[in-house]
Amino acid sequence: MFLTSCRTGVFRISGQQIRRLCTNGGARQDITKLSLITPIRTEPQFHVDNFEDNKTNITTLPSRLRIASQNRFGAHCAIGVIVDAGPRYETNRTNGLSHFLEKLGFHSTESFKDRDAVQAVMEECNAIFDCQISR
C-alpha cells in the first residue's frame, strides 16, 4: 500500500487503485506500442517567435553623452552605463580607482541619504540594481 499526504490528512491507496489511475482503460492507444517507422499523422507545431528587428538609435546629448536605445515590446526597461574607465585605463598611480567607484555606485546622492534609501525606491518598482567593473 502507498501513502499519500494531503492537507486534510493521510490517505491509503492500494496498488490496484494506482494501476487504475495510471492506465487509460483501453480508451486510447498505448503509446508504447506505436510503430517507430510509421510517420506521425499530425504536423509538428513550432514556436513562432515575434522577432522584431529594432533599430538601435544613438543620440548624443549636448554634454557629449551618447545614448543607445531600442524600442522593445513589454513592461521592462534596462539601463546600462558604459564608461571608458576601469582597470584597463588605470595606471600605477590610479590603481584601484574603478573598484572604489564601483563601491560608491549606489551609496548616496543629494536626494537619497544612503544606500538603503536608494534600495527602498528601487524595490518599490521591483527593480534590480548593480554596479560592476570589468576590463
| Residue owning grid cell 557629449 | 64
Q: Which residues are catalytic?
A: 102
What is the three-state SS of 25-77?
CCCCCCHHHCCCCCCCCCCCCCCCCCCCCCCCEEEECCCCCEEEECCCCCCCC
